[in-house]
Structure 1
Amino acid sequence: MEQKKQDTATANRRGSDMSKIEQIRRRRHEKRLRTAALLVLVLAAVLAYLGGLFAPSINFLSELLDTAQSAMFPGEGWPMRNDTQNLVRAEGLVGGAALLDQSDLVLYSPSAKELRRVPHGYADPAFTMGNARVCIYNRGGKELKVESRSRNLLDKTYDYPIITVGMSDGGAMAVATKSERYLSEITVYDASFNESYYCYLAEEYPVSIHFASDGKRFAAACMQVSNGDFGTKLRFYDIREENQVAEVSLPGAVVLDARYLDTKTILVVSDRFVATYDCTTGAERARYDYGGQTLLAMDIARKNIALVFGDEKRVAINRCTVIDSEMQPVCNIALGYSVKDVMLKNEAVYVLNESTVREYDLLGVPQKQYDLETKGSVLIDAKHPLVVTAKEILQLIE
């Protein structure tokens, strides 16, 4: 009996010791969080004070601060309820996600914490991104906003309607608007929103603007009408040069996306072909023609491009072709089902239809299938692949 009492007392002491250890650990963790939070506040104050003096460096440090805040105060993880209404666009944002609908821009961290919800009130909202910045603009209106993960960076109203906006990863921004004396004009801003370049277009409207990694060179894809037929003219600029550097006409083609492979080479995906061009001369370097096939979906990842061809009514013929920047096929994947979206990531191809996401390797071999409880709409290239459904934002890889 006495031994039992001693064992019970020993167990109680051990439990009490464990409880004390947990309390000590918890207090230490809370102290580290308080210290980190205090450091964040101090850095924020320093950034606010020095912002006007060393703006480019401060912008960079501010983005690092946003990343640190996201890491120190994580969310509960995916899935996250999707409460967007009439989703306009969804993209990856520094490992997290940015979703734009008809009323709000919603920013999420990589761990599914809602960082910000920005109302915009635009009639025809659109957005473009540059690394950790998002520019929301009112297409056909005169207003735009630039947002970071923690704060508003810019609110601006123009004298003439906005046509399109492009951003570089370094924070440079080009805004194309209609013009009083010309058909359109482009104003380029540096990362601190100082005006750094202007150009005017007498005969064309830019429909998209794409920056090189240095933020100094950019391409404007402009709508072109020739002999009654629509096409695209690519105009290449360097903000250090007074006049445009080069141009190339793409008759009968609509540019869907473009990506600088380096400062002298741009990859262009159109509705009829994929090609690379020399940005200093406009010369075509390589081309992959679709041969009359209908392009249903596409994605660019690094220097590879995924192209889904087929027919929405005859889904049995649908297939995905991955090509490299030399326009050489990497793999061909027979799909045989309807396709909503495609994404290239981590040497894998993800194909979305309304009820599943299927994963393939770059040999075209099926890997995994993810069944969705509700209708899928779009894939997001985040830290791990995400899919937006009617009710949730789901992570595909645990």
Structure 2
Amino acid sequence: RQFAAGTLAARQGQLGCKVYFMSTSSNSEGPAYTASQGSMLLSLDWQSESRVVAVFDTYIAVLDPRTATETARYDFGGATLQSAAPGQRQTALLLNIRGGNSLVTLDNDLTPLAEIPARQAYGIKATDTAVYLLCPNAVECYGFDGVQNWVQDNFSARPIQVLKASELLVFTGSRAEVLTPPDNANNT
């Protein structure tokens, strides 16, 4: 019964973005959050009646949709966002920092938990307990504490997506297969 919509507009030569929170049972405009000047909205993740995670190109914020107020924020500090996996308890970001990719994990208040080099990673997927880095011919699994659990690097094609269903699946090209951690790995 509620939804959020992001709008972009150029004002005085600068990009401006607003996120509007609305109810389908009302004709009136709901509260609106104004993003930092020059920031572009990339995605919204509505997680509960009091929590929406907004991913911008320069920062990530937790917004309260009832008031459109920012309750937590993590600025990328000049880094370029490559991929984001927002969650209710933890969030994972793949950032390009000074020419190299890094995995940054955050708690539910967007306080940093870990930052580790992510070398050739080009994407991430996260569950409640693990972060999966997508690399050219591998999937690397990390805990939110930044500790590597395992690596599987025997793919003939580039991994496109990891999906946690009843089993952990990896999609490569036109194939989907069960992703089985090595025997000596921490189970995630």
TM-score (norm 1): 0.42
Offset at residue 386 of structure 1 (A): 2.1
Deviations 1:47-105 (A, max 9, x none): xxxxxxxxxxxxxxxxxxxxxxxxxxxxxxxxxxxxxxxxxxxxxxxxxxxxxxxxxxx
SS at match of 1:326: coil
Task: Decide whether the 8 Å contact of 1:298 with 1:307 is kept in 2.
Answer: yes
Deviations 1:14-59 (A, max 9, x none): xxxxxxxxxxxxxxxxxxxxxxxxxxxxxxxxxxxxxxxxxxxxxx
Offset at residue 289 of structure 1 (A): 0.5
* Structure 2 CA distance for aligned equivalents of residues 242 and 325 of structure 1: 33
Query: Which piece of structure 1 moves more, 253-262 or 220-229?
Result: 253-262
User: Which residue in 2 is equivalent to 1:294?
Assistant: 80
Structure 1, unpaired ranges of 5+: 1-215
1:325 aligns with 2:104: no
* Structure 2 CA distance for aligned equivalents of residues 261 and 374 of structure 1: 33
Q: 1:281 to 1:301 in 2, by over 3 A?
A: closer
Task: Decide whether the 8 Å contact of 2:53 with 2:86 is kept in 1.
Answer: no
**Equivalent AA in structure 2 for residue 286 of structure 1:** A
User: Which residue in 2 is equivalent to 1:393?
Assistant: 176
Identity across aligned pairs (percent)?
24
SS at match of 1:281: coil
Task: Decide whether the 8 Å contact of 2:22 with 2:30 is kept in 1.
Answer: yes
1:309 aligns with 2:92: no
* Structure 2 CA distance for aligned equivalents of residues 375 and 327 of structure 1: 30
1:230 aligns with 2:15: yes
Q: 1:270 aligns with which of 34, 56, 77?
A: 56
Q: Of Structure 1 and Structure 2, which has the larger fraction of its residues in helix?
A: 1
* Structure 2 CA distance for aligned equivalents of residues 301 and 354 of structure 1: 25
SS at match of 2:104: strand
Q: 1:346 to 1:278 in 2, by over 3 A?
A: closer
* Structure 2 CA distance for aligned equivalents of residues 363 and 266 of structure 1: 24
Offset at residue 397 of structure 1 (A): 3.1
**Equivalent AA in structure 1 for residue 137 of structure 2:** S
User: Which residue in 2 is equivalent to 1:83?
Assistant: none
Number of aligned residue pairs: give it.
Answer: 179
* Structure 2 CA distance for aligned equivalents of residues 272 and 299 of structure 1: 15
Q: 1:291 to 1:281 in 2, by over 3 A?
A: same
* Structure 2 CA distance for aligned equivalents of residues 276 and 346 of structure 1: 17
* Structure 1 CA distance for aligned equivalents of residues 48 and 174 of structure 2: 39
Task: Decide whether the 8 Å contact of 2:84 with 2:94 is kept in 1.
Answer: yes
Offset at residue 256 of structure 1 (A): 1.9
**Equivalent AA in structure 2 for residue 227 of structure 1:** Q
Structure 2, unpaired ranges of 5+: 182-188
1:383 aligns with 2:166: yes
Q: How does 1:1-398 map to 2 (within 5 A)?
A: 216-250=1-35, 251-310=37-96, 314=99, 317-335=100-118, 337-371=119-153, 372-397=155-180
SS at match of 2:66: coil
Which is greater in Rg?
1
**Larger RCO of the pair (alpha carbons < 8 Å, separation 6+):** 2
Offset at residue 391 of structure 1 (A): 4.5
Structure 1 runs (4+) greater than 4 angstroms displaced: none
TM-score (norm 2): 0.85
* Structure 2 CA distance for aligned equivalents of residues 397 and 222 of structure 1: 42
* Structure 1 CA distance for aligned equivalents of residues 89 and 177 of structure 2: 27
User: Which residue in 1 is equivalent to 2:185?
Assistant: none
Q: Of Structure 1 and Structure 2, which has the larger fraction of its residues in strand?
A: 2
Task: Decide whether the 8 Å contact of 1:259 with 1:267 is kept in 2.
Answer: yes
